[in-house]
Structure 1
Amino acid sequence: MKLLNSCSVSVIALLLYHGTVFGQAQPEDDNHLSAELRIQSKVVDKPGNSPDSEIKNEAQTEYNAAVNGARIAEFYRFNLDYELRETRYNEGSQDNDGYWDGDASGTLSNSNGLYLINATHSRRRLITNPGGLTSIISNSESRDILTIQPIARKKVGAANTFSLAFNFADIRLERSNSNDSQRKGADFAYLRHVSPTRQLTFKISERVIDYNTSDFGDYETTSYTLRLSSLRRLFQYHIEYGVSQVSPTLDEQYSQSTLDFNLTANIGTGQLVFNATKEVSDSSQGNSNSSFFSSDVTFDNATTERTQIDRRTAGLNLRHKLGCLRCSFDFSFGIDELKGISNALSDSRQTVSSLNFNYQLSHRLSWLIDSRTTRNRFDSGLVSARPDSKSKITRTELTFHANNGFEFAATYELENASQTGQDENSTNTIGVSVAYTYN
């Protein structure tokens, strides 16, 4: 499933940088709706996450429901992608529990596309202790981000567009509500088409960030950015550089440089994506629910203390057919570095690597193997800092695709998690599942 100086997923940037005009009709092929129901029965060893637990093996039943869809018409577009997961623990190693996550977005426009209103919602599951197993429901937190953004645009000639956007965002965490916040602001942008394939955009952004429980951690930002973007037949890129002036309510004003770079290139039967960012974030916004690192094994250290954060990330993703019509290969590597501006306990460095291989054995039978490794290092050097940790999940799955939307799968998964000074936690899972997909 899959939902910078503000938590708002800046839709105005997508509109301006990619030249989208919502006042025009869209192809019917963009409209779709699919839903999936899945039941999985599995056996898990050491489900209590403790070597001393009396429960050595436990049968568990997992129920999944997912929906994905899009509706695009002349004056509006709507997208959604959500999943709900509920697990029953037969031996009581955990309380029966579940979670849901996903994204939704909607846009309304007038007939010429110059007046828009965008709304987005995203929900992500975060790991609270990177040294613990991700299968432990209590080792997680959920963050909801809701944004609303009205936009007005004015075209001057064929090459110039001015726009003004107002932003409102509400961020809520399911358990640590001390980091709930709201933010309001505005963006003014000027876009210039410098050639048929290149655009130059200058933007001024203002944000006011208020935590819900107290004014400790509140701050304001004023940002100035310049972006060059290009779209070619085999590749596209954008590079943005800027400066943010940050004014904390209870601290001194300071300035931070920002960077946003992305390159997407088609390589034969594959695709290469590289991105790098440097941004001002905070303990409520975290990674905005939209980064390379949003997954079940993500640890977003930003949720643990209230502070502004200097966040630096880099990610590489390669997808390729490897000269094989029946197989596909996916490799990703990323670094996420956080430096707490007013609290050194937030300093951390996370590296994530994943490898995915899928082989189509026949028309109906496919085999998948994937592995994901996450390392977290905490650099503050303080006695109270978290210990370094490592997590690795390896999974293989054999799937039979039957008629009429049904599929049957057998899965084996091994998860290992460890942290400095403690024994490694590990668990093995064997399961079978049946799923039905409606398209």
Structure 2
Amino acid sequence: MSHPAEPVAVPAEHLRRLAGRFAAGVERAGVAEGDRVVVSLPNSVELLAAVWGCVASGRIPVPLDPRLTPHEREPILADVSPALVLDSLMRFAELLADDPAELDPFPRCRPMHFTSGTTGRPKGVWSGFWDAADAESAVLEERDLWGFAASDVNLVVSPLYHSAPLRFALGTALAGGSVVVLPVFTPEAFCEAVRAVRPTTMFCVPAHLQRLLAHLESGATTDVSSFRLVAHAGAPCPDPIRRGAHALFGTDVVWEFYGSTEGQFTACPATEWEQHPGTVGRARPGRVITVDHEDELWCAVPAWGRFEYWNDPDRTAQAWRPTENGPAFTVGDLGRVDEDGFVHLDSRRTDLIISGGVNVYPAEVEAALVEVPGVVEIAVFGRPDERWGQRVVAAWVGDAAEADLRATAQERLAPPKRPKSYERVHALPRTATGKVRRTEL
């Protein structure tokens, strides 16, 4: 019986050389500056090196989930017209040149990530090419916020074709730190990596934390004292899981942040969350967050934080507007900003349920029901209803009784917000980043 290889921390110098060899190889293969390179690889150091080699040599990497079906992948390929499709580790190895190219000290652009198709067809988020000053500022902003340093060992537990784990891994490498990539997250693999390489930083989603906490509650043990930073985002974090993470790693270690593929809004250390429960933090440096008359959040960003939707000027125009703080964008999320500047996120507009003309925010209903004894996870969504337009439905994981859920809803929620029906499920369907697929429910 074969055993998975022990996790290894790859030093920045090794990663940089690998990225340089890839950059030289794609140039030799005829990929010009400004061309798109689709990177569709399993979670690996090679994926990170391919992206680094592209952004630091003027090519545009387009990271894609290697599990996409042809039906999902072909429209994206048609949209970006790639000069190269990198879809196997063997092809990566074939492209490597013996002598590495000289890489720019800072990436010239962001990778072009495609957002999930919850608002229609997937769309590419393109930063444009930065000048040298903006390129440096983009890297140093992340470094200053998260403290990336040469002494860091970043543990990658999420798919690197997503923006957040890729930002943390590349930011660490650019600062001279080491990176460890888990091919797939399991609590057992996490504990083994912690034992073997003593990581200092990690980005994760709440689903990772929930699985890890359940694993430890079943009797497993791990020493997580090596971590100085555990950042979570990507989905609302139920309070019991958040507090479990605070207890496990320490409130001086855990951060939450709010952002999207398009850009970053806030960052919130656990100590601030405990003083302001429910917040996702204050605006990151250089940003100003406001709400409009429909409670939609808008974020003014520095020059290097701007973007367009690839080949979609109409959607780009809808996402941006001028403000007194400079150009601001929205991704349709709803919330509020309190008098101290703390942002509270109500819901994503795409999740909004309108029942009998009343707006119902799933996050609010979920927060009211998640602490019912026996509820492990819960997701609230809308279903078409001839009378009300949509009716509110709740699906939950765990051994909680439906009667207890109904009683709590009656106690905590106004009538339009109370789920009309409840469904017990074995697991909630999720994307690779941990977001609940409400459309599946």
- The structure whose RCO (Cα within 8 Å, separation 6+) is larger is 1
TM normalised by structure 2 equals: 0.26
Q: Which has the higher helix share?
A: 2
More strand by share: 1
Give the TM-score normalised by the residue count of structure 1: 0.26
User: Which of these two proteins has the greater Rg computed from alpha carbons?
Assistant: 1
